[in-house]
């Protein structure tokens, strides 16, 4: 009898959690394969798996030189080699599930409040609606800044989760790490951080600041510096391989080339991430205010340091960069920690506000069933529009009125060894058509000298498409 009752309880819980994940996945939507950064990060695995592009210079360069995310490239290689590209949608769904379940659960641990079924359902509904992509797109038409994704995206156009699978998607595991930490599974929490950093070395600064917050809180609780030291040493040893790899990959041929490459990358190719003059806007101040309010809200909790230490780290980094203009700080991007503390702060405030409204009887128990009904309707409507949006995105791949249709014809009719000169922003052309391209904006070479050649090719291609004289344009390409 006890076993049956327990089995029934876990079955119901599994159904509820699965429903939350499905509603979130439908609302957040999916982008088709070879969207944006996928073209850059999938290329080495695609090439090494023997899918094609043997005559593509950039593909060969990224596949045969030291890369920024070697473990992720191995994941894409294995997927292309032994599975199917559609598995990338499945991988995205897996991280969607971790993200929303952790984002709902963590605030209850932070605030140490009772998790009633009604409150849990309301919090899940609000968080799912905040992440509803069609809703965000609609509100953006009227207010480009004050839209719901302000609550879960970081500064400098960084984010923890986007509508497709890429290395930064693995940053979702930071939330899982925090959940383990709040449940006093300290070793698991630290190991997960090292796993994320190994897959996506660009977030090493976030891993470091979050790890320091863990150690600080553990010391406050246990007063055991030896245990803290053991955790620190373990973390250091686990990230040592990727740290050495990244250090070697970053060794420049000369200081001049190092400065030249970083200036091109930070001030031209990815200025929206690196240059504060581009990304520092009213949205940044709103998100900063959101974090400060959250810190005040949880100031009495010992877990406040999970938000406070990364926030201080980012704030000091931004100030130093603005004052000194140091290009290396710009490249390291300490403000990237916002991908974690912005959605975490928002979730804590949302759950805290809903809990306050319920405990103060502002949301009366008499209207509980009405609220559940309204929340359910909103979830269904949001999911419907989300599914419609996803299908629309996928349908663009075969629409005769889109560039994707032309690319599909090229993919079907291409000649072996052909290389196309395409507009530099048409980054999906290479992988979608399985055809070599002269150059594109999204995918630079890995090594320093290759990067400079990529930049030279990029300028030649832009000059060609900007020219009004075809003969002069061909001359500019040295053809």
The number of beta carbons lying within 10 Å of the beta carbon of residue 226 is: 8
Digitized pLDDT (tens) for each residue of the chain, 479 residues in all: 556 677 888 888 899 999 999 999 999 999 999 998 999 999 999 999 988 888 899 999 999 998 889 999 999 999 999 999 999 999 999 999 999 999 999 999 999 888 888 899 999 999 999 999 999 999 888 887 777 788 999 999 999 999 999 999 999 999 999 999 999 999 999 999 999 999 999 999 999 999 999 999 999 998 999 999 999 999 999 999 999 999 999 999 999 999 999 999 999 999 999 999 999 999 999 999 999 999 999 998 989 999 999 999 999 999 999 999 999 999 999 999 999 999 999 999 999 999 988 887 666 667 778 888 999 999 999 999 999 999 988 776 555 557 777 888 888 876 567 888 899 999 999 998 899 999 999 999 999 999 999 999 999 898 888 877 666 666 666 54
HSE, CB side, 13 Å, CA atoms: give it for residue 107. Answer: 27
pLDDT at 226: 95
Tell me how far apart the alpha carbons of residues 280 and 157 are, in angstroms, rounded to a whole number. 10
The DSSP secondary-structure symbol of 170 reads G
Nearest to 163 by CA among 317, 393, 357: 393
For tokens 């930071």, what's the residue? Answer: 174
What pLDDT shows up at residue 142? 84
Cβ(337)–Cβ(209) below 8 Å: yes
Rounded CA separation 440/426 (Å): 7
User: Percent of the chain beyond pLDDT 90?
Assistant: 73
327: which residues sit within 8 A by CB, 6+ positions away? 259, 262, 263, 266
User: Pick from 441, 452, 418, 454: which is nearest to 58 by CA?
Assistant: 454
C-alpha 96/C-alpha 161 separation (Å) is 8
Task: Name residue, tokens 């080339």.
Answer: 257
**3 state DSSP class of 218:** helix
Contact 344, 106 (CB under 8 A): yes
pLDDT for 470 equals 63
Nearest to 118 by CA among 374, 358, 382: 358
> Could you tell me which of 247, 248, 68 has the C-alpha nearest to residue 168?
68
> Angle at CA 120, nearest 5°, toward 213 and 373?
150
Measured between alpha carbons, how far is 206 from 441 in angstroms, rounded to an integer?
Answer: 27
- Assign 153 to helix, strand or coil: strand
Rounded Cα distance between 321 and 330, Å, is 7
Phi, psi of 156 (to 5 degrees): 60, 35
């Amino acid at each position: 009898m006890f076993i049956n009752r327990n089995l029934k309880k876990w079955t119901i819980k599994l159904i509820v959690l699965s429903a939350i994940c499905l509603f979130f996945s439908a609302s957040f939507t999916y982008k088709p394969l070879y969207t944006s950064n996928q073209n850059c990060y999938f290329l080495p695995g695609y090439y090494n798996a023997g899918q094609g592009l043997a005559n593509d210079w950039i593909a060969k360069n990224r596949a045969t030189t030291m890369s920024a995310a070697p473990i992720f490239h191995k994941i894409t290689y294995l997927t292309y080699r032994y599975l199917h590209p559609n598995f990338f949608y499945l991988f995205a769904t897996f991280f969607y599930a971790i993200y929303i379940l952790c984002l709902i659960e963590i605030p209850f641990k932070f605030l140490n409040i009772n998790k009633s079924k009604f409150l849990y359902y309301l919090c899940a509904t609000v968080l799912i609606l905040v992440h509803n992509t069609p809703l965000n797109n609609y509100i953006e038409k009227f207010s480009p800044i004050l839209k719901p994704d302000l609550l879960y995206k970081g500064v400098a156009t960084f984010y923890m989760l986007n509508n497709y699978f890429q290395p930064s998607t693995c940053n979702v595991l930071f939330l899982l790490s925090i959940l383990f930490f709040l449940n006093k599974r300290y070793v698991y929490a630290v190991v997960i951080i090292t796993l994320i950093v190994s897959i996506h070395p660009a977030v090493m600064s976030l891993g470091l600041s979050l790890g320091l917050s863990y150690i600080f809180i553990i010391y406050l609780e246990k007063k055991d510096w030896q245990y803290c030291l053991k955790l620190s040493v373990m973390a250091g040893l686990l990230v040592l391989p990727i740290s050495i790899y990244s250090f070697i990959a970053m060794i420049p041929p000369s200081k001049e080339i190092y400065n030249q490459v970083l200036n091109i990358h930070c001030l031209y190719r990815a200025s929206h991430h690196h240059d504060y003059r581009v990304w520092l806007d009213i949205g940044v101040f709103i998100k900063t205010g959101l974090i400060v309010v959250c810190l005040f809200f949880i100031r009495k909790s010992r877990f406040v340091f999970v938000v406070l230490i990364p926030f201080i780290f980012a704030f000091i980094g931004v100030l130093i960069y603005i004052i000194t203009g140091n290009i290396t700080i710009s490249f390291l991007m300490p403000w990237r920690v916002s991908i974690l503390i912005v959605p975490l702060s928002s979730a804590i405030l949302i759950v805290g506000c809903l809990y306050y409204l319920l405990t103060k009887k502002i949301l009366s128990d008499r209207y509980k069933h009405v609220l559940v009904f309204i929340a359910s309707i909103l979830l269904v409507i949001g999911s419907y529009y989300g599914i419609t949006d996803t299908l629309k995105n996928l349908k663009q791949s075969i629409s005769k009125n889109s560039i994707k249709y032309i690319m599909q014809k090229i993919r079907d009719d291409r000649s072996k060894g052909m290389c196309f000169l395409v507009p530099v922003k048409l980054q999906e052309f290479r992988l979608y058509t399985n055809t070599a391209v002269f150059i594109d904006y999204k995918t630079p070479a890995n090594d320093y000298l290759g990067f400079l050649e990529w930049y030279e090719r990029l300028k030649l291609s832009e000059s060609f498409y900007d020219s009004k004289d075809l003969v002069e344009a061909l001359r500019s390409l040295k053809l």
